[in-house]
Structure 1
Amino acid sequence: MGSIWRRRCGSCSTPLQRHGELFDGRVIDGKARFTPVVREELLAMSAATIDRYLKPAKASDQIKGVATTKPSPLLRSSIKIRKAGDEVEAEPGFFEGDTVAHCGPTLKGEFARTVNLTCVHTGWVFTRTVRNNAHTHILAALKAATEKVPFEVVRLDFDNGSEFLNKAVIKWAADREIFFTRSRPYKKNDQATVESKNNHLVRKYSFYYRYDTEAERVVLNRLWQLTNDRLNYLTPTKKPVGFGADAAGRRTRLYDTPATPLDRLLAANVLAPTQQAELIAYRDSLNPAAIARQIADLQNRLLVLAKEKTEQLDLASFPTALPNVHKGIRIKAAS
């Protein structure tokens, strides 16, 4: 991260400086928050050092999710399979999709699902939470994605879940001339791009709590607007481009130069000049610190709404070790 920040910022003005969040002379608890010396130290830090400094501040959550994918045997035989390693389009528009269940520790009852779409070429993400995985709600999220994503969605790749492989969704895709593929069962590496986003986007920002009310869904969708802006416009990522060898001759992954999804989209030259200017202007208007504060506020609201409820469900899932005193104790009769 340090090297990424160094390449992107160098001697230029960072978004935090541009919005007045960092400036020389600010003093907190008797210490200058941002000075030329501090800036140079930040630029010199490696990703490992940054992670080590931030480790105490990162929240840890012991509650884990539950897999909810249910296969759809009726239609999947008619959908083409896409495997890990298959070539993909060299242009934006090919999206991998998946749903994340906000069920907490139990699958009982109705709970929210988050539809997560990721463009393989650019890394552009779209996220939307819906009431459940009924095809009407999933279809509404897909329709919203095609309207909100600033470039054409030409291909969708899903797992074998029945929320995607159903007649309503397939007919909608066919009407819009969107090519439809699916991964192999139990082969998560076929959808490595979106599976990674399920973790460090959906789970990182919304935790593993149970969300099953309208109020919680409203907060989640407000949260996704902010996180999508953060990831699409402000967060550089690197993509694997092949394999090489290190000094000892061991096979290693090679990556390209880190860039934001917007940078990759602009480099693809698929947008009109007017649209490019609009997206750049919108990026320049984003204040990273303000987004971080708003995200933290929404996450705190989620904690108030769902943390205690989820923890109680988690405790109830463990069988008690105490004896059932209501059954009484049998005593052998004296002979």
Structure 2
Amino acid sequence: MRMSMQSRREYLNTMRTRYRQARSRSEKSQILDELQKTLGYARKYAIATLNVPPKETRRRQRRTRPLRYQAAMPVIQVVWEALDYPCAERLHPVLVRTAEQLARHGEICLTPEVSDELRQISRATLARRMAKWDRPRAKHVPADKRPVARLQSEIPVERYNWDESRPGALEIDLVEHNGGSSSGHYAYTLSVVDIVTGYSRRLAVLGRGQAGIAKALERILTEWPYPVWGIHSDNGSEFISAHLIRFTKAHGLSFTRSRPYKKNDNAHVEQKNRFLVRDIVGYGRYDTPEQVAWLNTVYAWLDVYANACLPLRKVVSKKWEGSHVRKKYDVARTPLQRALDAGIICAEDREHWERWADSLNPLQLHRQLTTLLEQGPDVVNLAVPPTPGPMSVRHKAFATVGS
């Protein structure tokens, strides 16, 4: 059975006493044999251990002389408080000067004795005395009492079902354009996508202030072609804001957020960020109003091209086969065509949208996008893309948003 440390100490103290009282060499040898057998010590180590006096006889004698610098301690504490509780290394060089300054203002009284002690005390002594003082700590604000916690509590953590069938379920996200350096002010792209139809929009803004992002989202929804019922974002501070909460409540929209560190909860918009943002404008830095205007011109043409011309397939079923997922897709259609086929656009507006889509030249749109990207943000005369038609064919519920 293994002996505890406390039992080992008690046993060694007993054996030390016996060893010191032994009169003959053979008696000491027997004690060493017993110690070796009991504790497994080597012979030389056992001898060295038994020759060490018990701890009770090795206690240091307590200091009897009085502590120095007692008269200066109250003054030092006042100086310490006045300088916001610094460490001894910061306090010691300015101790005398600060004390004299406080004395001139009547905060403390400096006697010759106190002044001498302030000049004589060493930095090490000062540190030892200060270690016993209670240092006031910053007031801890519980996580559930912080402003962001209140906002998060109003936005439930959910995610759309992968087979969601009601058009108008939007995912939103930001793409930053900092060129690899997060210093300074630079542009962001607000990306919005409907997970059911695949209809998407993009808008560039300078900075990611909450008010600016909320205004950009309102502008996008103003031009959305059919009713929207839900908005889903990640946990970025630009989205967890009172501006978006007020907006969604005013228009009766469902506002949810992803689980922390779960990017797949926003999988649809993340995929669009690569396909329709990074692959188009790249990873360069855009940080001027002129560059933001160029980005928005590119997005204006790109939104028309992606929504009315580019066919996309949508997953209609998933089946697990071991560790793999086998997916089935429907027939490829454009996002606008999916919205028209879903019957969420009224008959009058449907006719306008169909005529507008038929009037487009996909090759001309592709050429225009290529020209804009080749010219870069230094281009002066920016071409205006074909608009989807009058405001009457856009979603009436957002026609006055931001006005």
TM-score (norm 1): 0.65
**Secondary structure, aligned partner of 1:150:** coil
Query: Is 1:176 the equivalent of 2:231?
Result: no
In structure 1, distance between residues paired with 2:305 and 2:278: 16
Instruction: For 1:112-261, list aligned pairs within 5 A.
Output: 112-244=187-319, 251-261=325-335
5 Å-filtered alignment, 1:7-18, equals: none
Q: 1:222 to 1:303 in 2, by over 3 A?
A: closer
Q: 2: distance between equivalents of 1:249 and 1:89?
A: 24
Counterpart AA for 1:290: Q
Q: Deviations over 1:208-258 (max 9, x none)?
A: 000000111111111111111111111111111112489x99751111111
Paired with 2:198 and 2:273, the residues of 1 have a C-alpha distance of 13
1:5 maps to none
Query: Contact (CA 8 Å) 2:307, 2:335: kept in 1 or not?
Result: yes
Taking the aligned partners of 1:219 and 1:285, their CA distance within structure 2 comes to 25
- Give the C-alpha shift of residue 274 in structure 1: 1.3
- What corresponds to 2:51 in structure 1? none
Query: Partner of 1:105: helix, strand, or coil?
Result: coil
- Whose Rg is larger? 2
Q: Report the CA distance between 1:146 and its aligned residue.
A: 1.4
In 2: Cα distance, 1:89 partner to 1:196 partner: 17
Query: Of residues 119, 139, 151 in structure 2, which corresponds to 1:75?
Result: 151
Separation of aligned partners in 2, 1:87 and 1:187:
15
Contact 1:103 1:211 survives alignment (8 Å): yes
- In structure 2, which of residues 186, 192, 195 is the aligned counterpart of residue 111 of structure 1? 186
Instruction: Trace 1:58-97 onto structure 2 (pairs within 5 A).
Output: 73-83=149-159, 86=161, 89-97=164-172
SS in 1 for 2:231: strand
Give the AA of the match of 1:91.
Answer: R
CA distance change for structure 1 residues 303 and 273 in 2, over 3 Å: closer, same or farther? same
2:371 equivalent to 1:297: yes
Identity %: 32
Q: Which runs of 5+ in 2 are unaligned?
A: 1-147, 380-403
Q: Distance in 2 between matches of 1:190 and 1:250?
A: 20
Q: Distance in 2 between matches of 1:75 and 1:303?
A: 38
* CA offset digits 1:2-21 (Å, max 9, x no partner): xxxxxxxxxxxxxxxxxxxx
Secondary structure of 2:197's counterpart equals coil
Deviation, structure 1 residue 186? 0.9
- What is the aligned-residue RMSD (CA, Å)? 2.2
Instruction: Supply the AA of the counterpart residue of 1:146.
Output: L
Structure ranking higher in helix proportion? 2
Report how far residue 266 of structure 1 moved: 1.0
- d(CA) in 2 for partners of 1:295 and 1:103? 22
Which residue does 1:272 correspond to in 2? 346
One-letter code aligned to 2:218: K
Contact kept, 8 Å, 1:92 with 1:122, in 2: the verdict is yes
CA-CA distance at 1:176 after TM superposition: 1.0
Which residue does 1:287 correspond to in 2? 361
Aligned-partner SS, 1:96? strand
Cross-structure match for 1:100:
175
CA contact (8 A) 1:102 1:113 kept: yes
Compare relative contact order (CA 8 Å, sep 6+) and give the higher one, 1 or 2: 1
Deviation (angstroms), 1:141: 1.0
Asked if 2 retains the 8 angstrom alpha-carbon contact of 1:146 and 1:152, the reply is no
What amino acid maps onto 1:260 in structure 2? T
Q: Which amino acid aligns with 1:291?
A: L
Structure 1: any 5+ residue segments left out of the alignment?
1-71, 306-335
Which aligned segments of 4 or more residues in structure 1 are displaced greater than 4 angstroms?
A: 248-251
Q: 1:251 to 1:180 in 2, by over 3 A?
A: closer
